[in-house]
Amino acid sequence: MEIKYLGHSAFLVKGENIKALIDPFINGNASNNLKSTDFKDITHIFVTHGHGDHIGDTIEIAKRCNSKIICNFEMGYYFDKFELNVHTMHIGGRVKFDFGKVKMTPALHGSGIFYNGEMIDGGNPCGFVIEVQNKKIYHAGDTGLTMDMKLLRDEKIDIALLPIGGNYTMDIDDAVLACGFIEPKKVIPMHYNTFDIIKADPNEFKRKVEKSEVIVAKVNENITV
């Protein structure tokens, strides 16, 4: 299974029966030079919450590729307005797809969606544990540090994708604590340096994490899990 970092909290996941995007903020994302139309044949799109830097180009890509959007029930109602292919689930739920199992995990954050000049309800923000070819990825979404992350240790996470930018999410020190809770084999820091208010040094995070291997991924770099 392969992961590609696309800047901010966006990732491409490729494996058997899956070519998925997570939080596909592509167009207008200052941390990459990519276009949403660069992505073809996307089978699934995971969306952690309703904020614009996470929904990103979900609608354009899902429409063009007929991708299945995996998100919470409330966001599913929003995506239904655009006649998209949606699979809704909720916090704590696990389900089997043909590529492997997905569990929706809690996140401490907001999930409002801007629509027609108003903020509409996007339900609970979340993260995902995505299993592909017996490897487990944990994408935390936007979240503060939570005690619930201790439960993820038993999941035996191969690679964790954790926000480190602070202000809206965990900062470096809290993300280091999260690593201690989760004990992933590898970790990729995300959600930093896209905007001034989330400036953070991923190498400081790398120095501070003790047990997990930290990969400071470059945009478009392929990482084999």
Instruction: Tell me how far, at minimum, the Cβ of 54 lies from Ni ion, in Å.
Output: 6
* Binding test (CB under 5 A) with Ni ion, winner from 23, 57, 131, 142: 142
- Are 137 and 157 within 8 A, CB to CB? yes
Binding mask 48-87 for Mn ion (x = CB under 5 A): -----x----------------------------------
Phi-psi category of 164—alpha, beta or left, where left has phi over 0 and alpha has psi -120 to 50?
alpha
Distance between CA 217 and CA 54 in Å, rounded?
19
Taking the complex as a whole, the smallest distance from the CB of residue 135 to Ni ion amounts, in Å, to: 26
Which one of the spans 23-31, 33-41, 136-144, 149-157 is the region binding Ni ion (CB under 5 A)? 136-144
Q: How many CA atoms lie within 13 A of 19 on its CB side?
A: 10
Q: Interface mask (CB under 5 A) for Mn ion, residues 132-151, using x and -?
A: ----------x---------
DSSP secondary-structure letter at 191? S
CA dist 131 and 96 (Å) reads 9
Stretch near Ni ion under the rule CB under 5 A, chosen from 43-51, 92-100, 151-159, 217-225: 43-51
Q: Is 51 an interacting residue with respect to Ni ion (CB under 5 A)? A: yes
Closest to Ni ion by CB, 67 vs 111, is 111
Cβ at position 114, least distance to Ni ion in Å? 12
| Shortest Cβ 8–Mn ion spacing (Å) | 7
Instruction: Give the nearest distance from C-beta 17 to Mn ion in angstroms.
Output: 29
Q: Supply φ then ψ for residue 65, to 5 degrees.
A: -100, -5
Q: Is 23 in the site for Ni ion (CB under 5 A)?
A: no
d(CA 145, CA 176): 10
Beta-strand runs (E) in the chain: 2-5, 11-15, 18-22, 44-46, 68-72, 85-89, 94-97, 100-106, 113-115, 118-120, 126-132, 135-139, 159-163, 186-190, 213-214, 222-224
- The CB-of-164 to Mn ion minimum distance in angstroms stands at 12
23 part of the interface to Mn ion, by CB under 5 A = no
Amino acid at 121: D
For Mn ion, which is the closer residue by CB, 1 or 104?
104
The binding site for Mn ion (CB under 5 A) comprises: 53, 142
Contacts with Ni ion by CB under 5 A lie at 51, 142
